[in-house]
Amino acid sequence: MPLMAVGRLRGAGARAQVRRRSRDRRSVLLVATGLCAGLSSWLLVGGTPGAPQPCLASAVVAKSAAPVAPEAAAAPAEELLQRETAPPAGHDDDAVLPEPLPDAATMERLCADLADDQIRGNALAACARLHRIGAPAFPWLERTLQSGDEQQRHFAADVLRDAGAPASLRLCEVSAEALRHGEIAGYYTTFAVSARVVATRWLAAHAVAARPALQRAVHGGDDQQRFLAAFVLAKGGVREDVPFVARQLVEHLGDNQIEGDALMASHGLWCLGPQVLPELRLARRYADAQAVRLLERIERDLLDPARTDAECAARPRLSELTTVYLDPVLHFDVHRSVVPHW
């Protein structure tokens, strides 16, 4: 073989060897970088020396042919970890973009979407947006409470209650309307909760402001509406027409097929205070065994209330009625208990 050819072969072999060494160095660099990043991640999440961990080298070697930016290859492992775990630029998990204030036409359209118009999903979407708008939407929603469409006015009331609107007279009236028999059109299928439950709990927190609407309901509504209105009035410390309010509650102390009414009634009667005692003593004449036990407990709690949890626990339990409360007469909570319906 000519000497020049031999020289060319030797030169080619040397260059190939240099390329192989360069590839090997890149592979080693990739493996080292990956192991450092994996070790740093493991230590940051609370790794324990000696605990078995999945092998990282095989996964890194399998990807060694992928191109690596020079700055990434040269960066320390801690910097790589920060890059991986850092949120995208301009991203803030806690930031909530404010809802831009719509114009009057958009407000009217959103309130119109609350109606029962057979368009799937538009009422729920309108509720969500009106809730995000908040206080600027209250005047439009208050006007919507006058609507003759049952779904529209009750969806508007739901947004107002949930958004913390003031307890206006009309909002209280619509909320008291929800206490009656039956479900409000579209309410349960949209919110998966009864308007009766939401309205009762809201009214109990605004019993003073809602007193005129509740007094009309307790005298003019159906039997379910009268009972729930009487409870809210009693819870709010009403002092007018106590005998009538008490009679609506006493009727539900007995053993019947209505879930939760006896517990609610007993607490409501206790909230009326000592002036209700004549009604309690009169009711014993026709009360069944369950009602008698509750009447006795109400009277005792009015005249000699338990002052500590230990004293309360020492008294006879009403375990056949509830296992939630030590004393349902004292401790009943409308947010923890069933809101009765029939």
Residue 229 in any domain: the answer is no
Residue 225 in any domain: the answer is no
Tokens of 245: 């309010």
Residue 219 in any domain: the answer is no
CA distances from 326 to 152, 165, 177, 293, 309 (A): 42, 35, 33, 15, 8
Residue 71 in any domain: the answer is yes
Same domain as 105, residue 31: no
Same domain as 35, residue 136: no
- Going by C-alpha positions, the residue among 284, 285, 282, 305 that lies closest to residue 296 is 284
Spatial separation of the C-alpha atoms in residues 235 and 339, rounded to whole Å: 14
Same domain as 152, residue 55: no
Q: Where are the strands (E) in the chain, listed by range?
A: none
Same domain as 336, residue 251: yes
Spatial separation of the C-alpha atoms in residues 211 and 223, rounded to whole Å: 18
Same domain as 198, residue 117: yes
Residue 208 in any domain: the answer is yes
Same domain as 204, residue 113: yes
Tell me which residue range forms the domain holding 67. 3-85
Q: What is the CATH number of the domain that holds 136?
A: 1.25.10
Angle at the Cα of 23 from the Cα atoms of 17 and 25, rounded to 5 degrees: 100
Tell which of 212, 228, 254 closes a domain. Answer: 212
Tell which of 212, 230, 263 closes a domain. Answer: 212
Q: 147, 184 in Cβ contact below 8 A?
A: no
The predicted pLDDT at position 79 comes to 52
The predicted pLDDT at position 8 comes to 43
Residue 217 in any domain: the answer is no
Same domain as 198, residue 286: no
Same domain as 253, residue 172: no
Tell which of 19, 52, 85 closes a domain. Answer: 85
Same domain as 155, residue 57: no
Residue 231 in any domain: the answer is no
Total domain count for the chain? 3
Same domain as 151, residue 126: yes
Same domain as 111, residue 71: no
The predicted pLDDT at position 51 comes to 46
The predicted pLDDT at position 316 comes to 85
- Along the 342 residues of the chain, how does pLDDT read in single tens digits? 443 443 443 444 544 454 555 555 555 445 455 555 555 555 444 444 444 444 434 443 344 444 444 444 444 545 544 444 444 444 444 555 667 788 999 999 999 999 999 899 999 999 999 999 999 999 999 999 999 999 999 999 999 999 999 999 999 999 999 999 998 988 998 998 999 999 999 999 999 999 999 999 999 989 999 999 999 999 998 888 899 999 999 999 999 999 999 999 999 999 999 999 999 999 999 999 999 999 999 999 999 988 888 888 888 888 888 888 989 999 999 999 999 999
Which burial class, exposed, middle or buried, applies to 106 when counting CB atoms under 10 A from its CB (0-12, 13-18, 19+)?
middle
Same domain as 105, residue 58: no
Residue 222 in any domain: the answer is no
